Structure 1
């Protein structure tokens, strides 16, 4: 069921004019008035961009809701389990899981979905604190509108009337709150829900006008000139691009012209998303990101329809991508984001990840979708990243309530080519305040991708010891050789690699890995230890393909 209309208006010429308008009364925001009467129908439903998973749908039908790899019972909306944490409740009240029930394609799934929605409304769950958050409310309206056709087919009139009435009430609530929630990517989700209401609900022109006005402002603030989202989190970047592509597809289905500022944001963001991908199709793990599902990322990039390669250098977002042969390196060379941009960003400045073909070799530890506070603190730390650590102190001082108490004030990077080799040189002063140190990192990738040379330089006289850490993907087996300065790395597939520390001995230590697609996995890390005995301590290292 797609959203179609018999006219093709242009946003440049103002809002669309409906042939028949419902009486407008009541709610007024900024001079705009919004209707109170429940609609008798929708003008259409937005197209479904992200398909659900039938197996997950079967789990929901069996009485559990899946979130972050965990299952919690969901039998009755009037008696939500006390085990449910904030993240799980956000997922529940957002109703994005309806797509999984729809994917099963069964009458039983449709009836189960209707039963859960009816129970949710009758239990007054819309008044729960989390359910009232603008981003959760926006996602709920988006889901109800997108899957309205699935829900309403052969539905009793009582259910359809109940859902339409609730859609109207919730739309009015969202109009009051959409631009007042968190000033991060969640605000885009709230505004998207409001715009959907403006397109799908009769007399929704003012929802559309309000949503578009605020969304244009948010994209100008959140999307940087190189296309990166200001969170500096690859998964958040993907989610925002998915939201924008879905909006554009809905405009197309409604025969609306896409605003130029929306099309421009998509055009800038797609190459940046490609830059965040390893060859296995998943995302690099920076600033709280998970790898995501390659099929979902493929679908969004396909619909984005932006030609071109991955961005190699993103100076505004602070990332570099090196690629040669089958080897890829993704380096974080930017300043940590603000708390408003990414509350749970990491202390991983100058960390990198490396893959060869479809094998990830060097990684960061990642972050589970539902991380308890102690895990979140540990995984945000500098030691959970493939970079250097001084005296076990974080390069950015992490605030347990989100954001930082101290972060680098100066981060620089440059890129050059010498004899067809790509060289990235970056530095930052995150250790200046506690130790008077500056960290400089140089990485060079050979033209055939068969060798990576690196150099880490701590400049200054403070601190006692450093640990240079290279976290290994769980599928990589590592063996330290007799010289104690090198190790053989054997991925599950593909060719092996030899790591060499040119001037110091190395050790293997335990590590942990969360990519979001599998439960916690144990792994190892290569660690190079050394004293800070001079004013310019240098550690050189190399990866060579065998």
Structure 2
């Protein structure tokens, strides 16, 4: 069983241990018995349809996940799999949407076959694949795609699925808030709410789920709509789960509460603010690749302003936008461990796009390339900001979270001669290096010029490195005897980078995109000595 092989993040303590003993007791399965649902009262429609090409790949035994294809044909082969994120996705059955999109008779049979295998192998409690967020996603998927799974199926199979939905919903009702904190609880609650809508005589699940959902949204959403993870990818998933709940309620003719409508509106506005010129999301605190099509489809479900707000004071992000130039900057403290276990030490870093081309980026994130990669991408050096003495601006804990974080990050915004200015300051280095990092960034009204200044105020530290990681589609070339660099994106105008007449170095870097395979890229580096008197590095980016 997966419970014997997977390392999962569950709440610790006496109660958790007692519940584990209770759930793993063979007698516990008898407590899940009850009246089997004879049918479903209805099935919520899909908010977004699946991908037919992905469905065809699944039919061929190759499951695409985070840019890779995992060979899989049977739940009996899972002992050979080791990646937790992939296994969570597999057990969630979210991929039924892709099979359904293919629409052939083969897809019905294959979906039925895999569910039958799952019922045979995992009908008893397992602390991984019955984890509340995975369980909630699976219940929601089975309910949403029940009509698809019913095509050509015999009644014996359908009765087993209905019976299992009843059993899993009973357990979900008991455990829904005992799993991982943060966004996984929203996913778990979605499953419980779907069960309350679709299973006969299960209104109590709906009442329980909606009551808990309101509390969780209030815990997890900043007043400006940002998710407490400060991860744009989680922001997107947060909105999608809540929009799917809203659609399920509407389709079943339940009243959608005002608090859910209002939450979806401000969460969508925050998501809009995390987009760069290509329509995708900026990468902060573990955020990964996400296609612009999905984001556009989600935002089309909510009426929001076309132009994103410029400041998200509670979430800790600022946005500069002029013409086709967009800059998003992280001016917040790192997320708490319960909000985002794998937050990054990227204080005052930014990402920049011109038109549809990304220019300046952070290196990204990965959860499937091993621990060394995982931790390296969390470090300050993997972000477009200043690093002093190879020390992170927030001390990473390899088990998740941080051992040291900035006590405060101050940020102000003003207009200066028609130019928007962000002025931010972090004390992340003060405790150990007696340094304050201040970053000022100004964008011209037509987006053709960006002026920046990084100040290191204090007497500590020996050497600073100012990094600007470039997107793989940008080629950098030194000009003016190494005192400037020409940046040439794949499309559009080139940009000139200069820094105080200081020498600029071009070094190798890496970038993690949707394939989760490191792509070779470049980084611009400006470095210097501190010598007990701090430093001020002025730099500029000018469109040719």
Q: Using structure 1 for the length normalisation, give the TM-score.
A: 0.92
CA distances 1:295-342 after superposition (whole Å, capped 9, x unpaired): 111111111233442121000000000001111100000011100000
Contact 2:68 2:516 in 1 (8 A): no
Residue of structure 2 in register with 1:10 after alignment: none
Whether the 8 Å contact between 1:178 and 1:190 is mirrored in structure 2 is yes
Distance 2:93 2:429 in 1: 44
Alpha-carbon distance in 1 for matches of 2:363, 2:124: 37
Per the alignment, in what secondary structure is the counterpart of residue 402 of structure 1?
coil
SS at match of 1:144: helix
Candidates 347, 352, 356, aligned match of 2:350: 352
| Contact 1:499/1:542, CA 8 A, preserved across alignment | yes
CA distance in 2, matches of 1:457, 1:534: 13
- Which residue does the alignment assign to 2:72? 74
2:190 to 189, 192, 201: 192
Paired residue for 1:515? 513
Q: Aligned to 2:482, what secondary structure does the other structure show?
A: coil
Structure 2 unmatched runs, 5+:
1-30
Q: C-alpha separation between the residues in 2 aligned to 1:116 and 1:401?
A: 34
Matched residue of 2:392: which SS? coil
Whether the 8 Å CA contact 1:141–1:193 is kept in 2: the answer is: yes
What residue number does 1:50 align with? Answer: 48
| The 10-residue stretch of structure 1 (366-375 or 293-302) with the greater mean CA deviation from structure 2 | 366-375
Corresponding residue SS for 1:468: strand
Aligned with 1:251 (options 236, 244, 249): 249
Q: State the partner residue of 2:475.
A: 477
CA RMSD of aligned residues (A): 1.4
Q: Distance in 2 between matches of 1:349 and 1:220?
A: 25
Where does residue 288 of structure 2 map in the other structure? 290
- Looking at structure 2, the residues matched to 428 and 356 of structure 1 have their Cα atoms a distance apart, in angstroms, of 27
Alpha-carbon contact 1:35-1:203 (below 8 Å) kept: no
Find the aligned partners of 2:164 and 2:313 in 1 and give their Cα distance. Answer: 46
**Structure 2 counterpart of 1:132, from 130, 146, 159:** 130
Q: Does 1:111 align with 2:141?
A: no
- Partner SS for 1:295: helix
Aligned to 1:207: 205
Q: Does the residue aligned with 2:76 lie in a helix, a strand or coil? A: coil
Aligned to 1:383: 381
Q: Any idea what the Cα deviations from partners look like across 1:382-434, whole Å, max 9, x if unmatched?
A: 00000000011110000000000001011010000111100000001000111
The 5 Å alignment of 1:92-107 reads: 92-107=90-105
Q: Which residue of 2 aligns with 1:335?
A: 333
| Contact 2:139-2:165 at 8 Å conserved across structures | yes
Preserved contact between residue 411 and residue 427 of structure 1 (Cα < 8 Å): yes
Secondary structure in 2 matching 1:139: helix
Preserved CA contact (<8 Å) 1:437 1:460: yes
Match runs of 1:251-290 below 5 Å: 251-290=249-288
Counterpart for residue 312 of structure 1: 310
Question: Which moves more between the two structures, 81-90 or 399-408?
Answer: 81-90
Local SS of the residue matching 2:272: helix
Q: Decide which moves more: 399-408 or 482-491.
A: 482-491
What's the CA shift for 1:502? 1.3
Counterparts in 2 of 1:194 and 1:296: CA distance versus 1, 3 Å:
same
1: CA distance between counterparts of 2:432 and 2:71?
Answer: 48
User: When the two structures are aligned, how many residues end up with a matched partner?
Assistant: 514
- Counterparts of 1:308 and 1:293 in 2: how far apart (Å)? 19
C-alpha distance in 1 between matches for 2:515 and 2:531: 43
Please report the TM-score for the alignment, with normalisation by the length of structure 2: 0.92
SS in 2 for 1:305: coil
Distance in 2, matches of 1:339 and 1:378, equals 18
Q: Is the 8 A contact 1:275 1:310 kept in 2?
A: yes
How big is the shift at 1:74?
A: 1.6
Distance 1:371 1:106 in 2: 35
* Cα distance in 2, alignment partners of residues 46 and 284 from structure 1: 31
Which residue in 2 is equivalent to 1:421? 419
Q: 2:371 aligns with which of 370, 373, 384?
A: 373
Q: 1:66 to 1:127 in 2, by over 3 A?
A: farther
C-alpha separation between the residues in 1 aligned to 2:110 and 2:309?
44
Shift of 1:81: 4.5
Within 5 Å, which residues of 2 pair with 1:126-205? Answer: 127-205=125-203
Q: Deviations over 1:495-514 (max 9, x none)?
A: 00000011421100110001
Partner of 1:5: none
Give the structure 1 partner of residue 7 of structure 2: none
